[in-house]
Amino acid sequence: MTVDSVKRASQSPDEHMPYAELGMKEDEYQRVKEILGRRPTGSELAIYSVMWSEHCSYKSSKVHLRQFATKAPASEALLVGMGENAGVVDIGDGWAATFKIESHNHPSYVEPHQGAATGVGGIVRDIMSMGARPIAVMDSLRFGGLDQPDTRRVLPGVVEGISHYGNCLGLPNIGGEVVFDPCYIGNPLVNALCVGLLRKDQIKLATAPGPGNKVVLFGARTGADGIGGASVLASATFEDESHAKRPAVQVGDPFMEKLLIECCLELYQADVVVGIQDLGAAGVSCATTELAAKGTGGMAVDLNLVPLRDPTLRPEEILMSESQERMMAVVTPDDIPAFMAICEKWDVPATVIGEVTDSGRLVMTWDGEVIVDIPPGTAADEGPVYQRPFHEPAGQAALNTHVELERPADLRATLLQLLGSANLASREWVTSQYDRYVRGNTVLAQPSDAGVLRISESMPGASETTRGIALATDGNGRYAKLDPYAGAQLALAEAYRNVAVTGATPLAVTNCLNFGSPEDPEVMWQFAEAVRGLADACKTLGVPVTGGNVSFYNQTGAAAIHPTPVVGVLGVIEDVARRVPSGFTAEGLRVVLLGDTADEFGGSEWAHVVHGHLGGLPPRVRLEQERALATVLTTAATRGLLAGSHDLSDGGLAIALAEACLPKGIGATISLPGEDTFVDLFSESAARALVCVKPQHFAALAELCARNEVPCYGLGVTGGTSLVVENAFEIPVATLRETHEATLPAILG
């Protein structure tokens, strides 16, 4: 078969190229021709089409995402910001944490197990490529209604995929979310987060400097998996039909990834890596163009040298393959023997496939012919940018109209109904399939509000530090549907609060923005509003966005998912032994509510579960109060005042009280401060937390609250085997537990 070389392309300027089949627009194709001064070869078209895809180029979101930079608060903690594989944050004592959340939504619908598994694998490699040891994962999941048949297909597969891949890698899964809503049927969201640890002065970047340095591809061999349906393959010009039916979902091998992790760490330790990049979306195309663009500017690659799982692969396919567990490194010629020896120790195949040049061109050959000759920056950084039109959805005003819902007379029944509802019931069925203990540094994991990890034993040489890190992810699609600006801010506020209740100080943000089609101006409005809201709130709270991911096209026909910005917050705790556990940890503790409660039920769990209603406005965003609350929580934790704590969010105080009883089976007797018991119990007002303190510490806590202007209400005392709310109800903790734990197993088996 003849290969479409640059020479051939110059000689056949009018040959039709399948750009439209690759999802490229006419004007985008014309731009490629302008850049090259000729038509692209098939391989060049493969590169541009994937690099300029929405997924890789952020062409619809870029103009909005810029706000994360322009509005970024001043932060001394931020070491590496957006634009790298993951952000890096200074956590003190010479150590840094790198973390990022990324979506794998569409593959997880098509093939739940492999889709979710490779989502974990991809984000872990992003973290590795920063020079870090991955130390934990989390996942934020959304499915259709719990009672919808397809949920029973998708959910077990997704959970098993995350479980198998993450467990096999030896990374503890320390938390996340599982949310059910019919809007996600056909469009489940699988957002995976990974956090890694590295010495502050040993950050690695995706760059290929130094002409003469070698380009090494290492890890798994390249196969035909992960090549999109709408790819070069779909074109009859290049391939016969049998080739075109190959799966578009990648297949993961966590064992190879575990070897890659250990191999990379040893390579870093031996200091034999100049630049490094993982191979994720767009595979070799992405790694070569990005490395070259950020380095000296040129690279020469012999594609025949890429080790293949399937020897019949064509160069276009090699360029587009998304085979998992591969990395690309830039290594000086002198270090090549040491590099190869380490790879061999870990049984990781490694091959030199090219070298860095100062030509300013990315040149690739196949069978001795030049098949790619492009300026790498034009593919990596200079993709198209769209100002997509947007406007408020036609029904938005009607959606925001307040509807008075009938309030219950039986608050006991309401609490139990909510506690056993799909979104508030125990996640044990899911989380018990994840290893939360491996590596031995898990201080808190689900069902705690945030995961907390000890640093000192996480890496050699860290034994001196007493520090820990805390991580939480949150998102609320219903709030964002009612008001995407406020919804994104509430997601941030909740994750920020969840980090603070463990005693940690929130430092930085990652986000995964899950939306419908950007070509729908109403969806685009939701996106624009959410990004504006998140950027503004990050500025107010003083926590910069370090990176993240946008997932568009979560939509079936005209029905988009609720706009779902998922926000991850990372915090640091100076002495991890001071972390505050979740819930009531002993008898005889004073139970204290921090923050004020208003009559706020728009988008609430109560309206959703009891009335099946979504309307009105979400709870008011109270960022200044969030900040003051976080100050109180972290200061009180540092001073050892808090015996337990819990964030108030979905389901309000009632659910927080019930959940606080469960970890140790300790009840409480509560008397509510407000005039309306229903509002006190079920409102979802923001900026609130529940804490318990030894009686002798109550005065100090109250004084601390007063100084920070955080309202503080003594609610009662822990003890006994029931949750007693005076003048309302008494429920045995055993009943709470039974109700909480029965729901998921009843449906999922």
Partner 1 sequence: MRVGVVTFPGTLDDQDAARAVRLAGAEAVPLWHADHDLKGVDAVFLPGGFSYGDYLRCGAISRFAPLMEELIPAAKAGLPVLGTCNGFQILCEAHLLPGALTRNAGLHYLCRDQGIRVENNTTAWTGQFTEGQEILLPIKHGEGRYVADEATLAELERDGRVVFRYIGGNPNGSLNDIAGICNEAGNVVGLMPHPEHAVEELTGAPSVDGRGFFASILRKLVTA
Selected from 255, 360, 385, 559, the binder of partner 1 by CB under 8 A is: 255
Residue in the structure block whose two tokens are 């979905």: 650
Selected from 38, 152, 407, 439, the binder of partner 1 by CB under 8 A is: 439
Cβ 376 vs Cβ 295: under 8 Å: no
Q: Which of residues 269-288 bind partner 1 (CB under 8 A)?
A: none
Q: In 3D, which of 485, 483, 481, 475 has the Cα closest to residue 529? A: 485
Nearer to partner 1 by Cβ, of 253 and 647: the residue is 253
Positive or negative CA dihedral for 163, 165, 170, 173? negative
Nearer to partner 1 by Cβ, of 410 and 587: the residue is 587
Q: Encode 654-672: b = buried (16+ Cβ within 10 Å), e = exposed.
A: bbbbbbbbbbeebbbbbeb
Nearest distance, CB of residue 440 and partner 1, angstroms: 4
Angle at 382 between CA 381 and CA 386, to 5 degrees: 115
Selected from 161, 176, 226, 254, the binder of partner 1 by CB under 8 A is: 254
Feature table: binding site for substrate? 103-106, 125, 250, 322-324, 551
Nearer to partner 1 by Cβ, of 378 and 645: the residue is 645
Among 122-130, 240-248, 430-438, 530-538, which window interacts with partner 1 (CB under 8 A)?
430-438
Asked about 391 being catalytic, the answer comes back as no
Task: Quote the tokens at residue 721.
Answer: 């085997």
The answer to whether 440 contacts partner 1 (rule: CB under 8 A) is yes
Selected from 137, 259, 472, 508, the binder of partner 1 by CB under 8 A is: 259
Instruction: Write the binding mask 151 to 170 for partner 1: x where contact by CB under 8 A, - elsewhere.
Output: ---------x--xx--xxxx
Number of residues that bind partner 1 (CB under 8 A): 32
Cβ 101 vs Cβ 550: under 8 Å: no
Nearest distance, CB of residue 244 and partner 1, angstroms: 31
Residue in the structure block whose two tokens are 């000192």: 456
The answer to whether 742 contacts partner 1 (rule: CB under 8 A) is no
The answer to whether 253 contacts partner 1 (rule: CB under 8 A) is yes
Residue in the structure block whose two tokens are 């976080």: 630
Residue in the structure block whose two tokens are 């790498």: 376
Which three-class secondary structure state does DSSP give residue 636?
helix
- Relative orientation angle of helices 484-501 and 521-541, to the nearest 10 degrees: 40
The answer to whether 446 contacts partner 1 (rule: CB under 8 A) is no
Q: Which residues are within 8 A (CB) of 473 and not within 5 positions of it... i.e. 6 or more apart?
A: 101, 138, 140, 175, 176, 177, 191, 193, 495, 566, 567, 568, 569
Feature table: binding site for ATP? 58, 100, 511, 548
Q: In 3D, which of 478, 490, 482 has the Cα closest to residue 402? A: 482
Among 203-211, 236-244, 401-409, 437-445, which window interacts with partner 1 (CB under 8 A)?
437-445
Nearer to partner 1 by Cβ, of 437 and 673: the residue is 437
Nearest distance, CB of residue 159 and partner 1, angstroms: 9
The answer to whether 442 contacts partner 1 (rule: CB under 8 A) is yes
Nearest distance, CB of residue 447 and partner 1, angstroms: 13
Nearest distance, CB of residue 274 and partner 1, angstroms: 27
Nearest distance, CB of residue 347 and partner 1, angstroms: 6
Instruction: Write the binding mask 324 to 363 for partner 1: x where contact by CB under 8 A, - elsewhere.
Output: ----------------------xx----------------
Q: Which of residues 631-690 bind partner 1 (CB under 8 A)?
A: none
Nearest distance, CB of residue 192 and partner 1, angstroms: 17
Nearer to partner 1 by Cβ, of 132 and 535: the residue is 132
Half-sphere exposure of 584 (CA within 13 A, CB side): 30
The answer to whether 435 contacts partner 1 (rule: CB under 8 A) is yes
Feature table: binding site for Mg(2+)? 102, 126, 278, 549
Nearer to partner 1 by Cβ, of 194 and 576: the residue is 576
The answer to whether 380 contacts partner 1 (rule: CB under 8 A) is no
Integer distance in angstroms from the first to the last C-alpha of the chain?
53
The C-alpha atoms of residue 292 and residue 210 are separated, in whole angstroms, by 10
Q: Encode 688-701: b = buried (16+ Cβ within 10 Å), e = exposed.
A: bbbbbbeeebbeeb
Selected from 75, 202, 304, 433, the binder of partner 1 by CB under 8 A is: 433
Positive or negative CA dihedral for 282, 283, 289, 295? positive
Nearer to partner 1 by Cβ, of 577 and 734: the residue is 577
User: Three-class SS string for 660-699?
Assistant: HHCCCCCCEEECCCCCCHHHHHHCCCCCCEEEEECHHHHH
Cα 748 from chain centroid?
25
Q: Which of residues 549-578 bind partner 1 (CB under 8 A)?
A: 576-577
The answer to whether 715 contacts partner 1 (rule: CB under 8 A) is no
The answer to whether 454 contacts partner 1 (rule: CB under 8 A) is yes
Nearest distance, CB of residue 482 and partner 1, angstroms: 37
Cβ 605 vs Cβ 537: under 8 Å: no
The answer to whether 118 contacts partner 1 (rule: CB under 8 A) is no
Nearest distance, CB of residue 346 and partner 1, angstroms: 7
Nearest distance, CB of residue 221 and partner 1, angstroms: 16
The residue type at 259: L
Q: Which of residues 455-494 bind partner 1 (CB under 8 A)?
A: 457
Selected from 258, 478, 562, 627, the binder of partner 1 by CB under 8 A is: 258
The answer to whether 432 contacts partner 1 (rule: CB under 8 A) is yes
Nearer to partner 1 by Cβ, of 112 and 484: the residue is 112
* DSSP3 helix / strand / coil % (the chain, rounded to 5): 40, 25, 40
Task: Tell me the Ramachandran region of residue 560: left when phi exceeds 0, alpha when psi lies from -120 to 50, beta otherwise.
Answer: beta
Instruction: Write the binding mask 572 to 611 for partner 1: x where contact by CB under 8 A, - elsewhere.
Output: ----xx----------------------------------
Cβ 643 vs Cβ 633: under 8 Å: no
The catalytic position among 55, 562, 608, 697 is 55
Asked about 613 being catalytic, the answer comes back as no
Feature table: binding site? 58, 100, 102-106, 125-126, 250, 278, 322-324, 511, 548-549, 551
Task: Tell me the Ramachandran region of residue 94: left when phi exceeds 0, alpha when psi lies from -120 to 50, beta otherwise.
Answer: left
The C-alpha atoms of residue 326 and residue 280 are separated, in whole angstroms, by 8
The C-alpha atoms of residue 39 and residue 10 are separated, in whole angstroms, by 7
Nearest distance, CB of residue 173 and partner 1, angstroms: 9
The catalytic position among 16, 64, 104, 740 is 104
Which three-class secondary structure state does DSSP give residue 567?
strand
Selected from 333, 437, 695, 742, the binder of partner 1 by CB under 8 A is: 437
Half-sphere exposure of 672 (CA within 13 A, CB side): 22
Selected from 434, 496, 515, 713, the binder of partner 1 by CB under 8 A is: 434
Nearer to partner 1 by Cβ, of 438 and 724: the residue is 438
Half-sphere exposure of 495 (CA within 13 A, CB side): 34
Cβ 372 vs Cβ 40: under 8 Å: no
Selected from 136, 443, 455, 630, the binder of partner 1 by CB under 8 A is: 443
Catalytic residues: 55, 104
Per CB under 8 A, residues contacting partner 1 are 160, 163-164, 167-170, 253-256, 258-259, 346-347, 431-443, 454, 457, 576-577
